[in-house]
Structure 1
Amino acid sequence: MSDVRELLPLYVLGALDPGEMDQVTRAVSADPQLADELAALEDSALALIAPLTPSPDVHARLLSSIGAGPYELYAAKMARLYDVTLHRSRELLGLIARKSSWETPLPGVHLVHFDGGPAYAGADCGFVKLEPGTAFPQHRHLGEEVSLIIAGRVRDRTTGRIYGPGDEIVEPADGEHDVICEGDEPCIYAARAMNGISIAGAPVRPSRNLP
């Protein structure tokens, strides 16, 4: 057994040949004390490894590399909404988790802008995030606007209707409204506004600087 104990540190480091690995595995399975010694060595080895925390951008890209993360459910709807491929839709949904994607033009109102596909090249496309109790300002649609609720609940203060995740809001050209975030969690929705919107009579068009 003393020979096996000498092999334990090398077992933890993965430095044994297959025959020696099997020898240690059988010995540990048969001896609880030896198993405890191996566990203690493994804990010590893990403590020597400094954990690496990825930057927010790297973290978001890692999430997008495995799909749209928690928003995968909306990937197909997003693809249709913006006339983009499913792969591109997942990339766009990955922007939600990237803090550097967002700009904050007003307190409690955060925006991400991006280009739609060929069918919506003239539309303003992006995500809107509202903090709890925050309203997106009263605005007029210069063309049809379609919004897809992704997280939280929003209330249209013109109609009083409340929308939740998966709901779509379709507003005609020249219509006016404002929406407010209901509940205790932020609200996120994807919006496609043909020809943009105007606030207080002034057209509002975003700058696009995201991939």
Structure 2
Amino acid sequence: MTAANHDARLVEYALGTLPADERAELERELGTRLQAELRATREALTALSSSLPLQPPPSALRERLLASVHGPARFSPFIDRLARLIDVAAERARELLASLEHPGTWLASPGANIHLVHLVGGPACAGADVGFVRVTAGTTFPHHRHLGEEHVLVLQGGYCDSDGSHVGTGDHADMPADSAHEFTADPGQDLIYAVVVHGVEIPGFDMDAVLPRRG
């Protein structure tokens, strides 16, 4: 594979327009290097978008880009990673991601501008609370303590953690047991993430209403 083809596939992977079979092939080829190369590719795309004159892409690529920006296909790059995170089959992960486009999927929570989707994970998630969380852009998720480990996969947007770190789209974040923090969703786009958490305390919240069902 030439360097140009490699770079082109990384760009389409980052944009969510790479076909599933090519995505899987690229994941096998890059292995543990994939996330680092994707992060560099996204940074390069951001820089290019502000420095180059706009030119229309080829029609076939344009159609794929539009399909990836609007509708359930935009979450397709996360199918395999979500399946591993919540221990379900890839097809089930695909269905769950597609459902995020429907407003009726989301349930209100006691927190202002915070909505939830409750899920049942696979055997590896037994005893954990599993689901999706949507935090309106610019909203601060209140300070809370993790009773057990938490594992997060960001599907859209990003957030600034109270420790000063930033977590963006495609990043995986872990919180250890007995850790505590708050975070603020980036402006401009709602934050959406998948979560597997082994217990959490949020002062003033009815946790039966906040937590997804246990798997």
CA distance in 2, matches of 1:73, 1:88: 14
> Which of the residues 144, 168, 173 maps onto 1:139?
144
Distance apart, 1:169 and its partner CA: 0.7
8 A contact 1:68–1:91 mirrored in 2: no
Matching residue's letter, 1:97: E
Matched, 1:199 2:207: no
Give 5+ residue unaligned stretches, structure 1.
Answer: 1-62
CA distance in 2, matches of 1:136, 1:124: 17
- Are the structure 2 counterparts of residues 199 and 77 from structure 1 closer, same or farther at C-alpha, using a change threshold of 3 Å? same
> Which of the residues 63, 81, 84 maps onto 2:88?
84
Tell me the alpha carbon deviations over residues 133-160 of structure 1, each in whole angstroms, 9 at most, x when there is no partner.
Answer: 1011211111100101111111111x11
CA distance in 1, matches of 2:212, 2:173: 24
Matched, 1:115 2:120: yes
Matching residue's letter, 1:174: D
Matching residue's letter, 2:135: L
Q: 1:71 — aligned with what?
A: 75
Q: 1:183 — aligned with what?
A: 187
CA distance in 1, matches of 2:82, 2:149: 17
Matched, 1:128 2:136: no
8 A contact 1:197–1:203 mirrored in 2: no
CA distance in 2, matches of 1:167, 1:207: 21
Matching residue's letter, 1:140: R
- Are the structure 2 counterparts of residues 191 and 69 from structure 1 closer, same or farther at C-alpha, using a change threshold of 3 Å? same
8 A contact 1:149–1:168 mirrored in 2: yes
CA distance in 2, matches of 1:96, 1:87: 15
Matches within 5 A, 1:165-180: 165-180=169-184
Higher relative contact order (CA 8 A, sep 6+): 2
State the TM-score, normalizing by the size of structure 1.
0.62
Root-mean-square deviation (CA, aligned residues, Å) is 2.1
Tell me the alpha carbon deviations over residues 150-202 of structure 1, each in whole angstroms, 9 at most, x when there is no partner.
Answer: 11111111x111111110110001111111111211111111102x2111287
Larger Rg: 1
Matching residue's letter, 1:91: E
2:116 is paired with a residue of what secondary structure? strand
Structure 1 window deviating more from structure 2 (76-85 vs 134-143): it is 134-143
CA distance in 1, matches of 2:205, 2:114: 18
Matches within 5 A, 1:20-59: none
Q: 1:18 — aligned with what?
A: none
Matching residue's letter, 2:87: D
Matching residue's letter, 1:132: A
Q: How many residues align?
A: 141
1:200 is paired with a residue of what secondary structure? coil
Give 5+ residue unaligned stretches, structure 2.
Answer: 1-66
Distance apart, 1:124 and its partner CA: 0.6
- Are the structure 2 counterparts of residues 110 and 202 from structure 1 closer, same or farther at C-alpha, using a change threshold of 3 Å? closer
8 A contact 1:115–1:121 mirrored in 2: no
1:97 is paired with a residue of what secondary structure? coil
